[in-house]
Structure 1
Amino acid sequence: MSRTISVRALAAEALADIALSGHSLREVADRALPRLPDARDRALLTALLNEGARWWPRFDAALDRLLAKPIRRSEPVIHALLVTALVQLEILEMPGYAAVAATVEAVRELRRPRLAGMANAVLRRWQREREALLADLDATPATRHAHPAWLAKAIARDWPGHAEAVMAAANHEPPLMLRVNRRRAGRDAVADRLREAGQEIAAHTWLADGLVLPHSTDVTRLPGFAEGHFAVQDGAAQVPADLLDLASGQRVLDACAAPGGKACHALERSDIALVAVESEARRALRITQNLERLGLAADVIVGDAGDVRAWWDGKPFDRVMIDAPCSATGVIRRRPDVRLHRRAADIDALVALQSRILSACWETLAPGGTLLYVTCSLLRAENEGVVGAFVDGRADASVLPLTLPVGQAAAIGWQILPGDGDLDGMYYALLRKQG
């Protein structure tokens, strides 16, 4: 049985798992939140984990300036607790006396009473020297925007005119976006019902199925969720259904399909025969669950999208969508732990995987058909680098023109950067197979 624990002590244990042991924020939060019976404590824990992961690179560096000897390896939970204390002071703007006192008490609760004095001294020093310490942290892009140094450099290299705005956007809470299931409800009707339930909501200006709420909420409690009237999906992820130019009777492949949002959106739009391929059985189950809630049907296959011989029946597809595995650097405002877990060394392996999947799935596309390559990365190597190398080696592949109301043209395709139109970062390229 789990021991009774305060929200700050639990947050420290959980954040150490995320930042120092490599566990995902979602996995850790799902495990930790049920341990807190009070809704206010659960809300505080959620804030501490999200903002702790988001701002870890900044406040982790701050502790190196405040501590004579680092403790992240010797006392990882206490190190994480101090990060959460700085988050409370600087991001959540809690009263200083309360944040410091509660943190010192949490040190004792975590059975490290000998470190209580150190924690108190560190936080008091932060309060005394705050202005100078903040100026020091703000002097470099990585600690100013709480990005790992390799990613800050990569963004500056790939998007030199946008780097500061991109990194700043990644540190703001994104809006909650919904996608209305037009097979079950109209957008206006869904919006009216949500407003009647007290939600502030607006129709997206150019995404036909999009609704926008300013803040996150438990969508499972919203009216219409259980009936499958809508799903959660960022606006950038709603774009592919428009780009695919779907028509009834088409045969469509969604490679790397989990959790199924883009597949479901395509099925909501047109009477198509859709095959969804996902390499992990656990993630493929999520596709099936989403299909069932929304009243949709598809052929869900557990398989490697890059090994088509293992699952393809040989019948060509009119449309192919590849939502390629990527660095997820375009969605770190929504998934802040990505900045803690992704490494520069990962990119070459991802590019090789993306290239393999693109080449393999191209073979399943019918002559005259189109393939949409999508990533939630903002790194050029994963985007136009992959597509450009593929097109250069294929006589039967041509790039189709593509423009959207927000974002910018890439060397090939189109890039939405984080914050463009208040959307997540996402890349798209459309290719036509010559007949």
Structure 2
Amino acid sequence: MSAPKGGSLRATATRMIHQVAHEGQSLGQLLPPITATLPVDERGRLQDWCFGSCRWWHRLQAELQTRLRKPLPRRNAMLESLLILGLYQLRFTRIAPHAAIHETVETARELGAPKSLTGLVNGILRNALRDGEPPFESDAVHYSHPEWLVAKIKANWPEQWPALLEANNCKPPMTLRFNRQHHDQQSAQSALADAGITASPGELAANAIRLAEPCPVDRIPGFHEGYFSVQDEAAQLCTELLELEPGQRVLDACAAPGGKTGAILEAEPRLSEVVAMDMDRDRLGLITENLERTGTHARLIAADAAETDSWWDGTEFDRILLDAPCSGTGVIRRHPDIKLLRRETDIAELADTQLRLLEGCWSTLRNGGRLVYATCSVLQQENKRIIQRFINSHMDAQLVPITLDWGEETGYGRQLITGSQDQDGFFYACLVKSPAHWV
């Protein structure tokens, strides 16, 4: 079954779903070049079909397997993606069922399927409509997650796992961070209300505002002038934990796309210097865009933060934010393709990278300085166990308790579990460099 370029919106969605499921590409890479060319209504449909099909892939694939007499051959993988999209529209959208079936069959023809396969598509979807959804064989199917991830989350969170997995399948809110150099909570809400945007204060972060409904950033008053930024509440907490003061030198070690760098500069504009780093030189451009929009400045470096010989000038930092690369298991609701892209073997590799980054950054921190370690993961292997391993091997590392009233205390930092207060899943730990701790 071929996959010609162009064509209908469903064909475009099918190709993207296929590229995620069978070629390992992410929707974050695939969607922007296409959605930028589409009208708003088509953009929304394409995003919903792609995100929804990835969100419910494991559940829909399990149903599809029960309806096939034998597995589809690899050469028909595109057809599998189309059937997943068709089942998604039947199970989770308000599209009229017969219209969904008809358009899916037409898309099969458009993608070059022979008559035998278009008949298969028609039969499977009509039977699915007639029979309803089959019983679920496992928690992994019910919650539409890979088996290995369900097992890890159950082991890490034996009481909270059902709510966590459920939250991963919910559409997240749109949350803003207002720039305190231009707004306080009251004036920020008033500005949004004047623009016809219903919003309420966040529950966790001081500068957070949650929108009742997502909206294009062009509708947000002052967005392009840096008065507001889009950032989940959990991610906003880093600036409070850094305890920034005038004159400090700050490192944002894994900074792209720059949301936290901007938040740092907004929170304390009198810092002596902010250095924002990322290994990917291309992603430094995203930091530049964010800083230009907010009217702030940082020194940008393209380097691996762990390889200090390649970038560090020997001047120590007062504060370091290490928002380490991670599994992203705390932001699955925003990036449901993580369920298809992440592999169990990735976790140990990521943990090694996280520890290596922590080691490198620690050597650049002054005595008495503070390092905030953060991930958007809910897996202890990337979070509390990293901090535990680091403290056990560094007598000058002192864990500072986080006394703020959010998340779960783990003994080595605090964990926000996805959706517990309608926020992303995030982990934070605060470490202070204390030579006296050697004694």
**TM-score normalized by structure 1?**
0.95
Matched with 2:281 is: 281
Q: Deviations over 1:259-318 (max 9, x none)?
A: 111111111011212111110011111111111110101111110011111111111111
Matched with 1:318 is: 318
Q: Deviations over 1:204-257 (max 9, x none)?
A: 134211110133322134221111111110000000100111111111111111
SS in structure 2 of the partner of residue 330 of structure 1: coil
Q: CA deviation at 1:200?
A: 1.6
Whole-Å separation in 2 of the counterparts to 1:72 and 1:383: 40
SS in structure 2 of the partner of residue 420 of structure 1: coil
Judge which range, 237-246 or 93-102, deviates more: 93-102
From 23, 27, 30, the counterpart of 2:29: 27
Matched with 1:15 is: 17
Whole-Å separation in 1 of the counterparts to 2:75 and 2:343: 23
SS in structure 2 of the partner of residue 226 of structure 1: helix
From 199, 203, 206, the counterpart of 1:205: 203
Judge which range, 314-323 or 190-199, deviates more: 190-199
Q: CA deviation at 1:167?
A: 0.3
- Is the 2:90–2:129 Cα contact (8 Å) retained in structure 1? no
User: Cα 1:396–1:3, aligned 2, differ >3 Å: closer, same or farther?
Assistant: closer
Q: Within 5 Å, which residues of 2 pair with 1:391-430?
A: 391-430=391-430
- Is the 2:198–2:213 Cα contact (8 Å) retained in structure 1? no
- Is the 1:255–1:305 Cα contact (8 Å) retained in structure 2? yes
Whole-Å separation in 1 of the counterparts to 2:347 and 2:392: 21
- Is the 2:204–2:234 Cα contact (8 Å) retained in structure 1? no
Aligned length: 429
- Is the 1:368–1:434 Cα contact (8 Å) retained in structure 2? yes
SS in structure 2 of the partner of residue 370 of structure 1: strand
Matched with 2:260 is: 262
Q: CA deviation at 1:15?
A: 1.0
Whole-Å separation in 2 of the counterparts to 1:141 and 1:25: 25
| Cα RMSD after superposing both structures | 1.5
Residue 66, structure 1, aligned to residue 64, structure 2:
no
Residue 362, structure 1, aligned to residue 372, structure 2:
no
Whole-Å separation in 2 of the counterparts to 1:192 and 1:379: 39
Whole-Å separation in 1 of the counterparts to 2:218 and 2:21: 28
SS in structure 1 of the partner of residue 65 of structure 2: helix
SS in structure 2 of the partner of residue 217 of structure 1: coil
- Is the 2:18–2:81 Cα contact (8 Å) retained in structure 1? yes
Whole-Å separation in 1 of the counterparts to 2:182 and 2:195: 19
Matched with 1:351 is: 351
Matched with 2:97 is: 96
Matched with 1:382 is: 382
1:23 maps to a residue whose letter is Q
User: Cα 1:142–1:396, aligned 2, differ >3 Å: closer, same or farther?
Assistant: same
Whole-Å separation in 2 of the counterparts to 1:431 and 1:152: 31
Q: CA deviation at 1:354?
A: 0.6
1:370 maps to a residue whose letter is R
Matched with 2:149 is: 151
Whole-Å separation in 2 of the counterparts to 1:418 and 1:3: 37
2:372 maps to a residue whose letter is L
User: Cα 1:72–1:310, aligned 2, differ >3 Å: closer, same or farther?
Assistant: farther
SS in structure 2 of the partner of residue 318 of structure 1: strand
Sequence identity percentage: 40
From 118, 121, 133, the counterpart of 2:120: 118
**TM-score normalized by structure 2?**
0.94
Whole-Å separation in 1 of the counterparts to 2:196 and 2:114: 46
Judge which range, 111-120 or 413-422, deviates more: 111-120
1:60 maps to a residue whose letter is Q
- Is the 1:347–1:382 Cα contact (8 Å) retained in structure 2? yes
- Is the 1:14–1:32 Cα contact (8 Å) retained in structure 2? no
From 250, 253, 261, the counterpart of 1:252: 250
Q: Deviations over 1:46-93 (max 9, x none)?
A: 110111111111112221111122226221222111111111111113
From 180, 183, 186, the counterpart of 1:182: 180
Instruction: Structure 1: state its 5+ residue gaps.
Output: none
Whole-Å separation in 2 of the counterparts to 1:34 and 1:383: 36
Q: Deviations over 1:341-366 (max 9, x none)?
A: 00000111111111111011101111
Q: CA deviation at 1:3?
A: 6.1
Whole-Å separation in 2 of the counterparts to 1:426 and 1:160: 18
Matched with 1:293 is: 293
